[in-house]
Amino acid sequence: MSKELPGLIMVFTGDGKGKTTAAVGQAMRALGHGYRVFMIHFMKGRDYGEFLATKNMPNLTLVRAGRDDFVSREEPDPVDIELARDGFAQSEKAVMDGAYDLVVLDEINVAVDYGLINEGDLLNLLRNKPQKVAIILTGRNASPELIKMADMVSEVLAIKHHYEQGADCCRGIEF
């Protein structure tokens, strides 16, 4: 059994609900074993439950790199691009400076898909990361290149969703 966290690249993607939840669960598991975790939420500015529950947790740094507003895929607002790129710069530092064992890049796949972050920059970061740093990337539309590079990919499928029955967005479930 390994005594240190392996530097895996893990991807949670797909159209179903639960990608961020899976990443948060993995982060909690790592924290429980005393690892240092950096988690950044791209394209999210709302007080999500995981942000509220974990903001004072030891060994966890939690950052938001988005605002609580719709981002246009075709014409992203310059502020959304700036927030995502600033968040990516923080992520690069977190990966490369040795302060963290696990880095969670929540919704980065969407930020790349929307053109807020350059995919080449992300792939270069993954190629050049320190061997011991594990990275989780979440969000729909993970690119074929990212999937090929990853050590683990889980696809969350949308089979049925409560929105289809008219349910509203609910605190504690969606955020």
Locate the domains of the chain by residue range. 9-165
Q: What is the mean pLDDT of residues 135-153?
A: 98
Strands (E), 34-117: 37-42, 60-65, 102-106
CATH of 9-165, one of 1.20.1640.10, 3.40.50.300, 3.30.450.40, 3.20.20.140: 3.40.50.300
What pairing do the DSSP bridges indicate for beta strands 134-138 and 37-42? unpaired
Q: What is the mean pLDDT of the chain?
A: 91
Partners of residue 39 on adjacent β-strands: 62, 104
Tell me if 49 sits within 8 A of 82, measured CB to CB: no
Rounded to an integer, what distance in angstroms lies between the CA atom of residue 76 and that of residue 34? 39
3-state class of 81 per DSSP? helix
Predicted local confidence at residue 1, as pLDDT: 38
Residues 103-120 have pLDDT tens digits of: 999 999 999 999 999 999
3-state class of 42 per DSSP? strand
Which residue from 29, 90, 39, 37 is spatially nearest to 59, judged by alpha carbons? Answer: 37
Q: Looking at the whole model, is its pTM more than 0.85?
A: yes
